[in-house]
Amino acid sequence: MNDMNKVGIIGWGITPFTKEDKRIETVLLDSTKELFKNNPEINQKDIDAVLVSTNHNSKYLSPILSEMAGIQPKIAHSIENLCNSGTNSIVSAYSYIASGLADMVLVTGAERYDSPGSILEWDNSRGEYKHPIFWASIFAKSYKREYSVSDDELAIVSVKNHKQAKDNPNALSNKTYTVDDVLKSKKLTDDIRLLDCSRPCTGSASIILGSEEKTKQYSKNPVWVNGIGQKTTSAGFTKNGSFSSMESTKRAGSMALKMANKKINDIDVAEIHDAFSVCEPIILESLGFSSEGKGMSMIKELHQTNNFKINPRGGLIGSGHPLGATGIAQTIEITQQLQSNADNRQVRGANVGLIHNMSAAATSSTVLVLEK
Amino acid sequence: MNDMNKVGIIGWGITPFTKEDKRIETVLLDSTKELFKNNPEINQKDIDAVLVSTNHNSKYLSPILSEMAGIQPKIAHSIENLCNSGTNSIVSAYSYIASGLADMVLVTGAERYDSPGSILEWDNSRGEYKHPIFWASIFAKSYKREYSVSDDELAIVSVKNHKQAKDNPNALSNKTYTVDDVLKSKKLTDDIRLLDCSRPCTGSASIILGSEEKTKQYSKNPVWVNGIGQKTTSAGFTKNGSFSSMESTKRAGSMALKMANKKINDIDVAEIHDAFSVCEPIILESLGFSSEGKGMSMIKELHQTNNFKINPRGGLIGSGHPLGATGIAQTIEITQQLQSNADNRQVRGANVGLIHNMSAAATSSTVLVLEK
């Protein structure tokens, strides 16, 4: 990491996740306006790059957002990598700053509830099973069998994350559920019920990253991106090797911790990609928060002690999952946690945070380590 | 530009531009395979990032290409910014390397002849006039009036670039035309005829960029990316201020030359974005190759003396314009020129080259300066 400049988070804006039917341009602008409202000292002229994270099919969205927001950036384009688009865009912003090509980068992620990225249309090996529910179902069956986990136990992920989302004013869900509610919700496959799933929604999240100098200039309470790990193992989930662990998450996690010079035990708070209930214990294990097969024990204990360490904003299950915005919303949550600004969701003494995001059955993963 | 690492071009692969009806995944793989064939010493394991440049609506194309090509990258995503996508992706690759996040980055651009980016669907101020021909028509009318340029003169751009494309084995066109042919080709608007237009096509181009160390290790004939300039002024071309010059091109050009510590007279060979005949003189003027209103004089002289300095591969008019691949194909041409490897298209003594790419009526531009 020689010669690298430090990169920090200067400001953010986020709007409620909903099922609203709005033009993608409007959704993008919503959180960008919120960002400028939250950070009145930032001038549009200071922004060198505008990166748009989305799965929407519309073209040229970065120049369109820039024009609507009064920005004339140098660097401008859209970034797409399914669910992982938001964290990919944050890593790209990091590289523009650390390379010296930009001092301040706006990253805005937005999606509509009917995003085309919600269906995986390319993997012909799946036959008709193009909806992510089918890979989740295979992971659930495999994980439950391998570690003797029951449906009742897995349901706790959904119960916990819905409970935590109640304290997130931007979450799609504001209801709490019991284990019984989860088990009695509509059965979608043998192993997945409706309340086990995150839901696509309309939502937007914006963040500005900056060089060390700009971050110190604009933020009284800076948060730094100190660790980055990314790995793509394949595009088709059947090549993962295991359906009860996630290889790309293991690789991205250890890479990010190494870069930040941290151990997993140093992490005080984390947002992880619980697209489906079963993802949460598997990810905890693949990141090393717990040993293999013990992810559910950790989740149960956190839930019983009302500890918001994992997915304080309610994760994807509680918050909703506007694909291109998710990674940015996760990063905003960890930023708020490290700034002791997370209201009722606050994890006390949070100094080091982690973001885990992934795409398409963990065929690719991104992990970020943030510090204050 | 303190602390920046040097970034070089290690290898490339390109396939003929056609009107073929192939899956986008196949088109992407075509030039990637060609790249590995041209550079057998490069191992897939050495590639840290795979960036896909395209306007195609398919998602997750970078992991899909990676899997097909036997690569397991860290960084993987698609980049879209209309016609400018390819050069945006090269700049992104540069930043990943200069920041230290990657040592070797594969950038593959691909498009099908029916790319959705060929129609500008978002600019409602244009009413029904969504095809780029309409902005080109306004530029042509304005430029001809302002500088007393005739249709006969503008036609020389198409004659010259088709002539040069004859020596490009990958060009869509292999015919030569006279001024009369251009003037008698189908009249699309008052000011634009069919042979004034570049044509969307199916095509793919791949390039590998590397750190200084990797470039020296793998390339006997390294070419360096020494200058980068980018600017977005708006998303709607009616806000350009002038229809006979290109503000974003002026800004990107001077930025790139400054970073490379060069003057425009130092440039020996250039690929510029002649989406339509009228673009070529305007771009030459906006980059400073000629004074305002004198672009056509320069083009006429180059044509008469059979000097391939501008658009040696035939530009977009001669080569065809597979949107996401164009910026990468331009960069490959300049790389070949600087490596004295451009066969009949070779500009003698080419040491410094320039690439100019733009999107949507020059509402955004990218300029690169390469040196051997």
Q: What is the ipTM of this complex?
A: 0.96
CB contact, 8 Å: A82 with chain B? Answer: yes
Residues of chain A contacting B100 with CB distance shorter than 8 Å: 1-4, 98
CB contact, 8 Å: A59 with chain B? Answer: yes
**Cβ contact, residue pair A74, B98, below 8 Å:** no
Residues of chain A contacting B97 with CB distance shorter than 8 Å: 99
Closest chain A residue to the Cα of B362, Cα to Cα: A63
Q: How confident is the model at residue A149 (pLDDT cuts 50, 70, 90)?
A: very high
Which of B57, B74, B232 lies closest to A116 in CB terms? B57
**Cβ contact, residue pair B2, A99, below 8 Å:** no
CB contact, 8 Å: B50 with chain A? Answer: yes
Which two structure tokens, joined as six digits, stand for A138? 């295979």
Contacts (Cβ under 8 Å, ≥6 apart) of A63: A76, B81, B232, B234, B235, B359, B360, B363, B364
Q: Is residue A131 over pLDDT 90?
A: no
Closest chain A residue to the Cα of B90, Cα to Cα: A75
Q: Give the residue from B47, B50, B68, B74 with the most A CB atoms within 10 Å of its CB, the best one to mutate.
A: B74
Contacts (Cβ under 8 Å, ≥6 apart) of B253: B229, B264, B286, B287, B288, B356, B365, B367
Contacts (Cβ under 8 Å, ≥6 apart) of B330: B86, B87, B271, B313, B355, B357
Pairing outcome for strands A104-111 and A49-53: parallel
Map residue A224 onto helix, strand or coil: strand
Nearest of A369, A357, A292 to residue A329 by alpha carbon: A357
Predicted local distance difference test score (pLDDT) of residue B124 = 54
**Cβ contact, residue pair B62, A81, below 8 Å:** yes
Radius of gyration (C-alpha) of chain A in whole angstroms = 19
B173 close to B165: Cβ distance less than 8 angstroms = yes
In this complex, how many residue pairs, one in chain A and one in chain B, have their CB atoms less than 8 Å apart?
Answer: 193
Q: How far is CA B44 from CA A339, B47, B104, B105, in A?
A: 41, 6, 10, 11
Phi, psi of A67 (to 5 degrees): -65, -45
B327 close to B86: Cβ distance less than 8 angstroms = yes
As a whole number of angstroms, the distance between CA B281 and CA B274 comes to 9
User: How distant is the Cα of B337 from the closest Cα of chain A, in angstroms?
Assistant: 26
CB contact, 8 Å: B314 with chain A? Answer: no
Predicted local distance difference test score (pLDDT) of residue A130 = 66
Which two structure tokens, joined as six digits, stand for B47? 């590639």
Q: Give the residue from A99, A123, A240, A250 with the most B CB atoms within 10 Å of its CB, the best one to mutate.
A: A99
Q: Mean pLDDT of all residues in chain A?
A: 94
A262 close to A352: Cβ distance less than 8 angstroms = yes
B140 close to B276: Cβ distance less than 8 angstroms = yes
Q: Which helix (H) or strand (E) holds B214?
A: helix B212-218
A56 close to A202: Cβ distance less than 8 angstroms = no
The mean per-residue pLDDT over the stretch A92-120 comes to: 91
Q: How confident is the model at residue A127 (pLDDT cuts 50, 70, 90)?
A: low
Residues of chain B contacting A88 with CB distance shorter than 8 Å: 75-77
CB contact, 8 Å: A95 with chain B? Answer: yes
Contacts (Cβ under 8 Å, ≥6 apart) of A260: A226, A227, A352, A369, A371
CB contact, 8 Å: A125 with chain B? Answer: no
As a whole number of angstroms, the distance between CA B170 and CA B167 comes to 9
Residues of chain A contacting B120 with CB distance shorter than 8 Å: 59-60
Q: How far is CA A143 from CA A152, A285, B57, B247, in A?
A: 14, 12, 34, 58
Number of neighbours of residue A340 by Cβ within 10 angstroms: 13
Map residue B201 onto helix, strand or coil: coil
Nearest of B371, B275, B276, B254 to residue B322 by alpha carbon: B275
**Cβ contact, residue pair A230, B74, below 8 Å:** yes
The mean per-residue pLDDT over the stretch A68-88 comes to: 97
**Cβ contact, residue pair B359, A62, below 8 Å:** no
Exposure b/e, B224-246, CB count within 10 A at least 16 = b: bbbbbbbbbbbbbbeebeebbbb
Q: Is residue A29 over pLDDT 60?
A: yes
Phi, psi of B50 (to 5 degrees): -125, 115
Closest chain A residue to the Cα of B73, Cα to Cα: A232
Closest chain B residue to the Cα of A100, Cα to Cα: B1
Crossing angle for the helix pair B24-38 and B61-69, to the nearest 10 degrees: 40
User: How distant is the Cα of A220 from the closest Cα of chain B, in angstroms?
Assistant: 26
B208 close to B11: Cβ distance less than 8 angstroms = yes
Q: How far is CA A369 from CA A269, A274, A309, in A?
A: 10, 18, 15
**Cβ contact, residue pair A77, B81, below 8 Å:** yes
Q: Residues 187 to 226 of A: which have CB under 8 A from any B CB?
A: none
Residues of chain A contacting B363 with CB distance shorter than 8 Å: 63
Q: Amino acid identity of A37?
A: K
User: How distant is the Cα of A74 from the closest Cα of chain B, in angstroms?
Assistant: 4
Residues of chain A contacting B69 with CB distance shorter than 8 Å: none
CB contact, 8 Å: B293 with chain A? Answer: no
Residues of chain A contacting B241 with CB distance shorter than 8 Å: none
Predicted local distance difference test score (pLDDT) of residue A177 = 98
Phi, psi of A8 (to 5 degrees): -125, 170
In angstroms, how far is the first alpha carbon of chain A from the final one? 19
Q: pTM for the complete prediction?
A: 0.97
What are the pLDDT tens digits along chain B (372 aa)? 334 579 999 999 999 999 999 999 999 999 999 999 999 999 999 999 999 999 999 999 999 999 999 999 999 999 999 999 999 999 999 999 999 999 999 999 999 999 886 665 555 555 555 678 888 999 999 999 999 999 999 999 999 999 999 999 999 999 999 999 999 999 999 999 999 999 999 999 999 999 999 999 999 999 999 999 999 999 887 777 789 999 999 999 999 999 999 999 999 999 999 999 999 999 999 999 999 999 999 999 999 999 999 999 999 999 999 999 999 999 999 999 999 999 999 999 999 999 999 999 999 999 999 999
B234 close to A78: Cβ distance less than 8 angstroms = no
